[in-house]
Structure 1
């Protein structure tokens, strides 16, 4: 059985809820990413901050990142911000070497995901390159198993 780590960022709790279902379905461990500087409560302000971070190529500093060496499979979860992955997730992915790991992305979204798919595709440089799981509601265990198999 693969040893799984579910790494995620969740501003409102939606992605965290999806991560918990995925952890239960995979018997995986979880790690929640936290930026050193919290984002504004207002989602429009958060979107502006994230857009500026992407434009300046200055992703947020994270409090800590997980050690992935002992895991076979890394499942990375993000909310969708203006059709992009949340910048804390982009920061984690940009500073992590995923050699010899099966890496898959999942995202929670209520809107457009075109840029998000591009972000995921650009990040899938090594490991298992499966399609991301885009969630508009809480996933079922069957959906998780279909995505992973």
Structure 2
């Protein structure tokens, strides 16, 4: 399961990197339009914050401190900085998952994220689907707004 999770996180973080790289007009990363409330840049920051919190800080014991509000209020961060943050997050996720054993996956996740306690395995699977969900939004955002 750990190798499967690593494969999924790496696949989708690499796709996130490709999506951000693919914007022809860098300013469009931060565009919103009509009913599109979140820019691709803010969704990218949200994914970075989410993974660094729930995998990096909790499992990898990094010193990451999340500021979720800034994930949605920061604007106009350069493509270069976003790409560097994706790269660093990918490394953090891989380093943290390497620390886990199959037995660790069955253990209770150290903090309550949802309404009730979950296993570490459940939370990690949730994080893969969360990443894929927002990755799809970013792809759609780019194809609609990066003219």
TM-score, normalised to structure 2's length?
A: 0.31
Greater fraction of residues in strand: 1
**Rg bigger for which structure?**
2
Question: TM-score with structure 1 length normalisation?
Answer: 0.31
Higher relative contact order (CA 8 A, sep 6+): 2
Structure (1 or 2) with the greater helix fraction: 2
